[in-house]
Amino acid sequence: MRKLDQLNFENTFARLPDSFHSRLHPTPLPDPYLVSFNANAASLIDLDSAEAARADFAEHFTGNRLLPGADPLSMLYAGHQFGHFVPQLGDGRAILLGEIRNRAGELWDVQLKGAGITPYSRQGDGRAVLRSSIREYLCSEAMHGLGIPTSRALCIVGSDEEVYRERIESAAVLTRLAPSHVRFGSFEVFFSRGQHEQIATLADYVIARHFPHLVHFSENQRDADKYQLFLNEVTQRTARLMAQWQAVGFSHGVMNTDNMSILGLTFDYGPFGFMESYDPGYICNHSDPRGRYAYDQQPQVGLWNLACLAQALSPLIPKEQAHAVLDGYAPAYHQHYAELMGAKLGLGKNSSDDIQLVGSLLEIMHANRIDYTNLFRSLGNFDSSADATNNTLRDRFIDRASFDAWAAAYRARLQREPGTDSERKTRMKAVNPKYILRNYLAQNAIEQAEKHRDYSEIDRLLMLLGKPFDEQPEMESYAAAPPDWARQIEVSCSS
């Protein structure tokens, strides 16, 4: 493992022309202190965890002192925000220190979120607050624990500097790791300006860095074919990501094109939410009253955003080829979703009627306000024998007759599966989490941090959510449905 001054920066994005970014130094944050450190994420860049105890650690991860080899910059991009195109956005409060190559040969962006004003701050203060930093820190690691592609979080550094949002809050800097922070909007900005050469430059950069198999392909085929394959890779990754979000009950909250990763990662966490009582129209973002980014809209929004990306790539890809790629989104999404939901029910090879079985379960869960995560976890205990009543499950439903009807269909479907109930339960526990980052759990951690400077709950949740499928009996209370007071929690675009 490496010390801080031994981290191996390469900074490939900084080698792109100046039109792609703005070089600048972070704004100093007064008297920074470490709030939480994630050793699992540190291993991605070969960082020795003992380095977090250094007196100057917080100085390095606010940007007060630059790490050796860092080449800080803010990235330029545009984006469609709630359906409306904004021609210039960019990193308004994030600064990319550079890329670190680990001993496995992987390059990881190291980005400071909340590091101060940039040329793209649009009259903002360039700061993040402790509240939102805690939420992103925990959720990115929760998603990783669930096996969903995501940016990672290395640490949170706090300060007593005051930041004005709906109220006065304390500043914080979140260190975020990702293979890339290039997003759909990174291409849109150059398309809107008619700068087609930059579109090709960025596409070639992303392909060389993240889809190297397409580089070999392009040696023998037309460039247009290479770019079509690139769009197809992004489309397929996005389809799978949307299916994974839906299967676990996750809502992003702000699916603007500038928040869509070109690698199919979950990132730019803000007003996210894990659904509790099943509601297909669940809106996690208080700033989205019309529900553009409601839970049941996410798959379609994924395609809409891909169409924006395809338009931005249109100087490189003929329209017919782009349409052919986008036509593959829906089949890919539905296939992935069917596979994931079938696995949640303990089913092996998909049957044509399985999605109907899933749909009818979701309907009665909605009608009976059943907790999504807990119900699927409990279904592992379903007794498929002919005379079983499954009363423990049945009693969760107000309309028990509706459960009985569904249970009969489920039992009949399980009869076509090989293996025992015990084997099925083992499979189901491996894909149905017991623990998710419920809003009230995050709120408890935030309040302890803000009111008492007690960061122990952050670290406790970090450990819990790293193993969401394990029983962890000592943490049983963290699997409970939300208390009544949790209904008052609202998260918005400032979250």
Buried b (16+ CB within 10 A) or exposed e, 90-127: bbbbbbbbbbbbbeeeebbbbbbbbbbbbebbeeebbb
CA angle 489, 492, 494 (to 5 degrees): 120
Alpha-carbon distance of 165 to 157, in angstroms, equals 19
Alpha-carbon distance of 54 to 73, in angstroms, equals 25
Query: Catalytic residue numbers?
Result: 258
Comparing CA positions, the residue from 61, 224, 78 lying closest to residue 133 is 61
| φ, ψ dihedrals at 456, nearest 5° | -65, -35
CB proximity list for 191: less than 8 A, separation 6 or greater: 199, 311, 312, 313, 314, 315
Query: How would you class 466 by CB atoms within 10 Å of its CB: exposed for 0-12, middle for 13-18, buried for 19 or more?
Result: middle
Bridge partners of 197, per DSSP, are none
The answer to whether 305 and 80 are in contact (CB under 8 A) is yes
Alpha-carbon distance of 399 to 396, in angstroms, equals 9
Radius of gyration from C-alpha coordinates of the chain = 23
